[in-house]
Structure 1
């Protein structure tokens, strides 16, 4: 097993993303906050206490208001998800209008919260690069490619290769 992995970064002079090796670090915990009924939750009090873990909250939430989606950021987690655009899922639309994305990115920047950029389609990658160009994201970005969701990005090696190529250029 390799002791390094590829992580995206960005050249500020050219406005492009680059891949650079970083030391591999163990992941202690990765979980979405759950309500007492075991459904996903946007209630900050349900995720405030997680010792010995990198705390990452979700600003997602189909059907939740912008205020609900931003509420976790007031706890100042180390990281928070940031979907940089909307996408059609199998039975619903995951709405992330540009104004909301900018509001989330600005709030994370103001609170020194590292965004986890969720890329579910090509337009979201382009939006990520634009947010970097405008200074609303701090390089290097932490990018997660979300593949295999019906009506979004299929899990195909050729698509992964394309995205990695774009991140490197």
Structure 2
């Protein structure tokens, strides 16, 4: 079995597969690597291939993002999913207190929990989170797969956030498998919403991105590039090469969405390797492992010098069969794993801002 030995400017790490086929990492030594001749190293019974590539941008401490509510899960799935503005604010603030440098925000109809693009709800939530903590407030422009591009992106010119998500390509966004897990749903919209995703494309065309990316940059909002599959990296490279997308870039690998790349370690290594080849040291990244792979892929990412996202948008569970009772519970677990497994600490909001080159809380429009 041959695997890549991932080497970064934070430290190099060996990787092996244990008997139960889980990837394990061990820190070899603290070092910075530039170029290296390809060699093979025999470790136990496994061959690890050392590969040379330009190094991505890394921060000594890992940035933990918390995605508080999202638009994927429906209220029937968990009583802990925050729906009202008050609850979303509270969950975001407590997650920041637990160690999240960035809070990623969607809003929902407070009566039904249905995802919405209501700008006044966004403003109300963002203002109150800003008043109560210093976390970077990252607003979604992904919204929900059912929303138009114009609806989803209106938060940028209206609120001018420090950072917002920017989806780098179109995908089939299938939520309909959730229907098989429940006999009945609390709200009528839930069934229609989930079933409708069976015949739905989440559109992020080249034409729309040609407009959206410059809009972000004109308001001083850093786009976090949401990459759902390998081809989306090439889309980003296309816009960099045309001078539309400024570097360095920050990528969020979104893994495990039905219609995108699956959430496993081999695919993560391939995504990082491809990004290295395309962008050299002009990118940093974070990882979403949707569902049960949330902590596993987050831990792998921070081990490789990357960053991690957790939160009830991406997984409703804290461990197998046990619902997370709050976003903070997941943040605390990711912080603990980061410190114990990778040897890194977690970044403060100010460290995250400095590393990402954000404009600061004083320069937003809320």
TM-score between the two structures when normalised by the length of structure 1? 0.81
Q: Give the unaligned 5+ runs of structure 2.
A: 1-9, 12-53, 64-98, 175-197, 278-366
Shift of 1:40: 2.4
Say which of 94, 107, 117 aligns to 1:33.
107
Q: 1:156: which partner in 2? A: 264
- CA distance in 1 between counterparts of 2:55 and 2:237 reads 11
Does residue 136 (structure 1) correspond to residue 244 (structure 2)? The answer is yes
Does residue 62 (structure 1) correspond to residue 145 (structure 2)? The answer is yes
Contact 2:137 2:162 (8 Å CA) reproduced: yes
Does residue 20 (structure 1) correspond to residue 57 (structure 2)? The answer is yes
Deviations 1:13-40 (A, max 9, x none): xxxx851211425425343223313332
Worse-matched range after superposition: 140-149 or 23-32: 23-32
Shift of 1:158: 1.6
Shift of 1:139: 1.5
Name the SS for the 1:167 alignment partner: helix
- CA distance in 2 between counterparts of 1:83 and 1:124 reads 9
Q: 2:163: which partner in 1? A: 79
Q: Greater Rg, structure 1 or structure 2?
A: 2
TM-score between the two structures when normalised by the length of structure 2? 0.39
Q: Give the unaligned 5+ runs of structure 1.
A: 6-16
Say which of 231, 234, 258 aligns to 1:123.
231
Say which of 134, 145, 165 aligns to 2:273.
165
Moved over 4 A (4+): none
Aligned residues: 155
Shift of 1:70: 2.2
